[in-house]
Amino acid sequence: MHPKIPLIPQDLKKLYTGFLIATVIVFCISTFVTKFNVFTLFANGDSIWKFISEDFFPPKLPKMNRLPDVMESVLVTLALAMASTTIAAVLAFITALFGSEKISPFPKTAKFVRGFATFLRNIPTLVWAFILFSSLGIGTGVGFIALCITSFAFMVRAFVETMEDVSNDCVESLEAVGATFFQRVSQAILPSCLSGFIAWFLYCIEVNIRASTIVGMVGGGGVGLTLFSYIKTFHYDIAFSIILMIAVMVILVDQLTGKLRRELLK
């Protein structure tokens, strides 16, 4: 009888088993702390389904005199995501030049720049929105600033990592011939990293389409605010049609930006 050859090495199998056990333990502790009972979902499944099937279905379009306003709010959400991402990308590129030790004219400050971006990035967009709404009031302008802050912080990190992948030989050869900071950026960084920068920019647009909807629901304008107004007035069937509009918008943007990213990274 031939000995069995394990498909997974014994050490790796033990590691996976330990990870699975640790995951189960963490889940049990988390449910105990949060007092979440997964069986409640199954026990109340009928009432949840009844609420969705009776109040959300079938979806209903807004009244004809309100439909142009709804479509305008969708365009506002798109514009909000595009504008905030574009401004954040420009600012992030300039900041990332000082956050990369490889290219920064002040290498010792690079860690502080990255630390500042990390601090901004670790505060969710929704928290920034509440902070800004409390101090500046509601409106698309404040939603724009909230999206811009988180997009800026995210892209600084992404751009710095992209710059760090540039070959040292390219940068050092330019330094050896006396190239200035701006010449190193234009001759080494931009040619090597431009496709990566654009790919991260497109990804950030995808994220901000969804984030701008959430920010809009708490006062940032756009389709999120329109959706929340229908939910608040218990027009769930109309709210569901707006949710479908948002889903279609997000899918189309994801497909378009995903295709562009794949072309750039070929």
| Cβ proximity of 222 and 212 under 8 Å | yes
| Cβ proximity of 132 and 193 under 8 Å | no
Residue whose C-alpha is closest to residue 201's, from 137, 138, 265, 106: 265
Question: Which pLDDT belongs to residue 177?
Answer: 67
Map tokens 């798109």 to a residue.
78
| Cβ proximity of 16 and 7 under 8 Å | no
| Cβ proximity of 183 and 252 under 8 Å | no
Residue whose C-alpha is closest to residue 160's, from 196, 186, 127: 196
Question: Which pLDDT belongs to residue 175?
Answer: 66
Residue whose C-alpha is closest to residue 222's, from 125, 126, 144: 144
Give me the residues of the chain with pLDDT under 50, please.
1
Name 266's Cβ contacts closer than 8 Å, sequence gap at least 6.
none
Question: Which pLDDT belongs to residue 122?
Answer: 85
Question: Which pLDDT belongs to residue 230?
Answer: 79
Question: Which pLDDT belongs to residue 265?
Answer: 62
**How far from the centroid of its chain's Cα atoms is residue 37's Cα?**
30
| Cβ proximity of 84 and 147 under 8 Å | yes
Whether the model clears a pTM of 0.85, i.e. scores above it, the answer is: no
Residue whose C-alpha is closest to residue 212's, from 19, 73, 65: 73
Tokens of 7: 């498909």
d(CA 120, CA 114): 10
Residue whose C-alpha is closest to residue 78's, from 229, 237, 231, 245: 245
DSSP-assigned letters across all residues of the chain: -PPPPPSS-HHHHHHHHHHHHHHHHHHHHHHHHHT--HHHHHHTHHHHHHHIIIIISS--PPPTTTHHHHHHHHHHHHHHHHHHHHHHHHHHHHHHHHH-TTT-SSGGGHHHHHHHHHHHHTS-HHHHHHHHHHHH-SSHHHHHHHHHHHHHHHHHHHHHHHHHTS-HHHHHHHHHTT--HHHHIIIIIHHHHHHHHHHHHHHHHHHHHHHHHHHIIIII-SHHHHHHHHHHTT-HHHHHHHHHHHHHHHHHHHHHHHHHHHHHT-
Tokens of 244: 């479908």
Question: Which pLDDT belongs to residue 5?
Answer: 60
